[in-house]
């Protein structure tokens, strides 16, 4: 009979050959000291430094190591998506491969999932060893995400997270959405989201693979996921509503200008030609934009109704 796994540890990696042996040994030591049946799923995201060879050698030493190697670099979200598909543990962890996340946090975070009833527990690196140019933009980014999502987390982008298995099987991570997995989980109906202060280690090998461009991508993705959370099922609510308001504003304004001109002519008052008034052209523009927005919402509704995704409702229990 196949042994049930207590935990799965998904490790996305890109050019981290030096740190992998130490990381796997650390995870193995923590798991064995806590009597946890485990697996480590290493997703090589197109490394060019021989990381996959290291994974293969680790597999021979640690039978619990599993791995996938991408043909090219697809990004962290793609790696997590594949890792979540493979995960078989009761509690699934994600962890960066650079040794800045501590496997010693695994037992406590697992207890928060199983004993305290959380669906997701995110690490909070309260004390970070990153340069200030990375810390302050991250603080601003986390504040914005906290306000827009309503999820009270201090560190959305922390690589160390623990999930109830049902969570990772119910969400789809794509694009650069790995930063917003708590938001994806909340949108899917998993609202028991907590956090734990975790130790943050100084980078021991190599250098960070993320530059400042991730801030731009991060905010664009935040806008995208917020829109999908609020209006993904009913785009007509947004586009149709805005379109209707703009159409009414333009129509009423144009009608008022025409009536005012006719009234002024009839009673011998000073009047201006309709086409001589800039507001008339703004009103026409509002009417055109209103019609376009309304049609965009209508087309969005038609596409959404025909999509098979509308039937992907998550069922919690059955009798």
pLDDT tens string 202-228: 777 766 655 556 666 666 666 776 676
Longest Cα separation, the chain: 98
- Same domain, yes or no: 179 and 79: yes
Tokens 């799923």 correspond to 41
Structural domain harbouring 302: 235-310
- Same domain, yes or no: 168 and 246: no
Distance CA 160, CA 106 (A): 9
Distance CA 1, CA 136 (A): 51
2: in domain: no
Q: Is the pLDDT of residue 1 over 50?
A: no
Work out the number of other CB atoms within 10 angstroms of the CB of residue 278. Answer: 7
Q: Is the pLDDT of residue 307 over 60?
A: no
Q: Are 164 and 121 in contact (CB under 8 A)?
A: no
- Same domain, yes or no: 245 and 224: no
C-alpha distances in angstroms, 96 versus 22, 33, 42, 103, 319?
13, 22, 10, 10, 40
Last residue of a domain, one of 198, 231, 264: 231
Q: For the chain, what is the domain count?
A: 2
- Same domain, yes or no: 13 and 48: yes
pLDDT tens string 16-27: 999 999 999 999
pLDDT tens string 29-41: 999 999 999 999 9
Task: Name the pTM for this structure.
Answer: 0.74
- Same domain, yes or no: 95 and 204: yes
Number of residues that make up the chain: 319
74: which residues sit within 8 A by CB, 6+ positions away?
Answer: 45, 46
């Amino acid at each position: 009979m196949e042994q049930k796994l207590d935990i799965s540890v998904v490790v996305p990696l890109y050019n981290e050959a030096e740190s992998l042996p130490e990381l796997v040994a650390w995870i193995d030591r923590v798991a064995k000291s806590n009597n946890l049946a485990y697996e480590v799923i290493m997703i090589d995201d197109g490394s060019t430094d021989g990381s996959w060879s290291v994974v293969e050698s680790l597999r021979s030493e640690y039978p619990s190591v599993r791995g996938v190697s991408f043909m090219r670099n697809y990004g962290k979200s793609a790696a997590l998506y594949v890792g979540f598909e493979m995960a078989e543990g009761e509690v699934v962890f994600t962890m960066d491969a650079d040794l800045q996340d501590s496997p010693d946090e695994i037992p406590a975070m697992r207890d928060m999932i199983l004993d305290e009833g959380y669906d997701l527990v995110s690490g909070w690196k309260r004390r970070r060893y990153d340069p200030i140019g990375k810390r302050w933009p991250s603080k601003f980014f986390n504040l914005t995400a906290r306000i827009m999502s309503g999820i009270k987390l201090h560190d959305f982008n922390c690589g160390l997270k623990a999930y109830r298995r049902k969570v990772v099987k119910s969400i789809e991570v794509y694009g650069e959405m790995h930063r917003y997995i708590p938001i994806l989980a909340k949108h899917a109906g998993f609202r028991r989201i907590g956090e734990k202060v975790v130790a943050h280690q100084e980078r021991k090998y190599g250098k960070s693979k993320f530059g400042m461009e991730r801030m731009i991508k991060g905010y664009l993705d935040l806008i995208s996921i917020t829109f999908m959370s609020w209006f993904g099922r009913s785009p007509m609510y947004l586009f149709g509503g805005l379109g209707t308001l703009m159409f009414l504003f333009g129509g009423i304004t144009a009608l008022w200008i025409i009536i005012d001109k006719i009234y002024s002519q009839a009673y011998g008052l000073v009047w201006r030609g309709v086409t001589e008034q800039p507001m008339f052209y703004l009103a026409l523009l509002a009417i055109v934009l209103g019609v376009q927005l309304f049609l965009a919402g209508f087309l969005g509704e038609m596409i959404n109704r025909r999509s098979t995704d509308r039937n992907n409702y998550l069922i919690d229990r059955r009798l």
